[in-house]
Structure 1
């Protein structure tokens, strides 16, 4: 078991404000998707604001950019939620509500028990945008191992035999 968990930030630039009729279907599904995340194996933590989501938290100068952050036990646990749960049906509809973005998600390792700040997460996203994937910020396409992951040590030979 690793002493690290996987943190993630994903952002999206809404086509209309979160309270607009054009985004109502997205907003109306947030509680359901967040409940699904919290019930998923490997879920650790997620960012919330005044309500049960983070849509009221402003992390960027543009108020149409909304932020989602969470922490998971492993890339497999996060991947199962993102790509193989009821989350998929909402993710498939993202073009209805969000503008295309080149870099919208970053992953990084945090010590178990650490809840990343919005500033920390925005910094990881910016690092990924500037330098591409690396141990400090990466994507599902190019995962990096947790800092405490090591190759198996060589066998110890009994020299007394």
Structure 2
């Protein structure tokens, strides 16, 4: 199978360590804006999917032992679509204020990777990609915006 036979989409996982529980006053403004920021993502050009629970966001999804470690995942048509949402919408004003709500992490806090069109990654897949990036650095398997690997950089093999 040629790598060009499969259309690919961009998956992303990012984590953040909250400075407090979601119901604490410190986190109120962040929590109060989740719904509008998530709606903005969903209406952005190139958006495909995002991780959420019954409440409509992912803040209650405990992917790590530390309950203050929040996880966010989404799938986009391209890196440019994801960057467009991140930097060209009201989302940027919240990114600029992240120090108010989140602690600085010492290791990579996000990872990008290519998935076949229509594939919805689960949290475990995202955690594996983040751990791979942390341990091995940038590669077509797990990367950041610093090393924009393209789907054509992947080696896809057909399993008989």
TM-score, normalised to structure 2, is 0.89
Per the TM alignment, residue 148 of structure 1 is displaced from its structure 2 partner at its CA by 7.6
Cα pair 2:15 2:110 within 8 Å, conserved: yes
Alignment correspondent of 2:75: 71
Please state if 1:145 is matched with 2:145: no
Please state if 1:30 is matched with 2:28: no
Distance 1:148 1:103, change over 3 A: closer
Separation (CA, whole Å) in 1 of partners of 2:121 and 2:24:
30
The number of equivalent residue pairs is 149
Highest CA radius of gyration, 1 or 2? 1
Cα pair 2:140 2:153 within 8 Å, conserved: no
State the superposition RMSD in angstroms: 1.5
Provide runs of 4+ in structure 1 moved above 6 Å.
none
Please state if 1:109 is matched with 2:117: no
Separation (CA, whole Å) in 2 of partners of 1:45 and 1:82:
15
Please state if 1:16 is matched with 2:20: yes
TM-score, normalised to structure 1, is 0.89
Alignment correspondent of 1:48: 52
Alignment correspondent of 2:65: 61
Alignment correspondent of 2:101: 97
Unaligned residue ranges in structure 2 (runs of 5+): 155-160
2:88 pairs with 81, 84, 88, which one? 84
Unaligned residue ranges in structure 1 (runs of 5+): 150-161
Cα pair 2:113 2:129 within 8 Å, conserved: yes
Per the TM alignment, residue 103 of structure 1 is displaced from its structure 2 partner at its CA by 1.0
Please state if 1:134 is matched with 2:151: no
DSSP 3-state at the match of 1:76 = helix
Per the TM alignment, residue 99 of structure 1 is displaced from its structure 2 partner at its CA by 0.4
Cα pair 1:50 1:56 within 8 Å, conserved: no
